[in-house]
A and B are shown apart, each in its own frame.
Chain A
């Protein structure tokens, strides 16, 4: 008899585990469904922008001096005589088989271009988010523990500046001050011109490729070029991360268990990092995910200013030459990565946080 409670406790634990697994699977299934829906939505939008919004996509290809026969032939070749819904599914099929059309400015398939330019964007955004997290989280914690002091005010103003400073302007000023004025960092571009083409593109990330090749000169040069644009990107994620960390921490520090811990004589460091910070780490994952996605978007402006050969720069160049295939391809890739990171951090939150699981 006396063993019964133990057994039922074990059973209960087993049930709980089963619930957790089921819950996670339900969350994953929902994730897959919602993500697929959102991707189809993204495709519908790019399709709409490419085929419906322009006054006449055929004229854009053949020019307004084309004869009627040429016009009709081009129209049929582009499949524009078919119903819109058929055109849409053809488009979706094309995208999934990796056919995004040819870029008129580079003369190569858009997919090839994007694959070549993506690592540069990824490298910059990743270093940017590292800077944002490593500085932003401690700053947010500091602001929350010193609420109301000038440290707190300073960090809050910094956070608001992150919402009000145009990224391209900060990039230009950064170049003027740190490159031209002080000479602390290298100028625009990814690498000095005489190092160009030496590296074998293994991953496409110069920092990693140069280490693989053992070319430390190139590593330092690439880092030199990366530092300023990545810091500026990092500033924007820092502002957001610090702001959110501060508000999460304030929320936790207001709880009674924190007061209890302090009354018990737990050292303040431990109260802050173990008692108050530990519970917010899951919320922070979501915030970091969101700001990483936002960085990929923000890099469009920064890349343009720094002539950084990434997807953002490719997109703005395509915009200026009215290269619609390239514009839509880049929009699709940035949009897809953005959505994916968003949804993944959302589902991670659901799986990791016991409160959100219910």
Chain B
């Protein structure tokens, strides 16, 4: 099986793809921090998928008799001001965090990639206009821009996702443009073009797949920032609305009790830190494996 995966002359596209994935995987496994990161993210995904089985209580079930209980065997992370079990809320919160980061990546990355690839492929005025636009968005303060967009769109989880995606796409446009320019004049692209492929086909089928590895690295590294921005919006009451167990919003609820019942605000914070660190570790590891030339610049 492993010999088949590592075969130097794969006989099918599937074998080549699997072989490459396997090599990346083994290289990642040699980096201890990347393994830690991957485990944290797997745990996050497992928490999101199996939340009803992991959480001992309902995330919204109130129990006013047990308000603001400190962490104990019954309530691992204590209870909040409505007697809800904080551990259960943190577990369900994984779903919201995962939803936000996935949606932002799914919206922002393709937009950025297409803008960048079109810009790099056509060059000239197309390039100047699109890159001018990208640079303008790149030089804006992201959090402030997201705040202003949410203010106009209205609070809520969907609008928070849109606002963060609007601030996240330019990085991918830059990556796609840089990669496209290096491939634009390559012979395999000329060959496809001579066969009569339209620019759309060349970009979608032949240029964009080559941007995949650097985009994956960048998306993973950006995840921490996206999580922090989403939590910040939640903290200000502009993201996910109560009673949704969003981590940032939970910290905001615990703000009033920070001096006496510290666990209400601190526990969701630990979840945010752990998950962000996980993405940072995995992203660093992935970069070393997939994109060594990028180095330590970020």
Contacts and interface: CB of A to CB of B under 8 A. Distances in A.
Interface of A: 34, 37-38, 41-42, 45-46, 49-50, 53-54, 160-161, 163-169, 172-173, 175-176, 180, 243, 247, 293-294, 296-298, 300-301, 304-305, 315-316, 318-320, 322, 324, 327-328, 330-331, 334-335, 338-339, 342-343
A167 B251 CA distance: 12
Contacts of A54: 152
A240 to B, nearest CB: 10
Contact of A319 (B151, B255, B296): B151
Contact of B153 (A41, A46, A53, A176): A53
A50 B152 contact: yes
B143 A166 contact: no
Contacts of B296: 243, 247
Interface in B225-271: 225, 228, 231-232, 235-238, 248, 251, 254-255, 258-259, 262, 265-266, 269
Given A37-B132, A247-B295, A247-B296, A166 B231 contact: yes
Nearest to A301: B232
Given A163-B280, A176-B258, A319 B147 contact: yes
A339 B140 CA distance: 7
B186 interface: no
Contacts of A338: 139-141, 144
B232 A163 contact: no
Contacts, number: 145
B280 A165 contact: no
22 contacts: A34-B135, A41-B132, A41-B133, A45-B148, A49-B152, A53-B149, A53-B152, A54-B152, A164-B224, A164-B272, A165-B269, A166-B251, A172-B258, A172-B269, A173-B258, A175-B258, A176-B259, A176-B262, A331-B147, A335-B144, A338-B144, A339-B140
A334 B280 contact: no
A42 B140 contact: yes
Given A54-B152, A175-B259, 19 more contacts: A46-B148, A49-B152, A163-B280, A164-B224, A164-B272, A166-B232, A169-B265, A169-B269, A298-B143, A300-B143, A300-B144, A304-B235, A305-B255, A315-B144, A318-B151, A327-B147, A327-B148, A335-B144, A343-B139
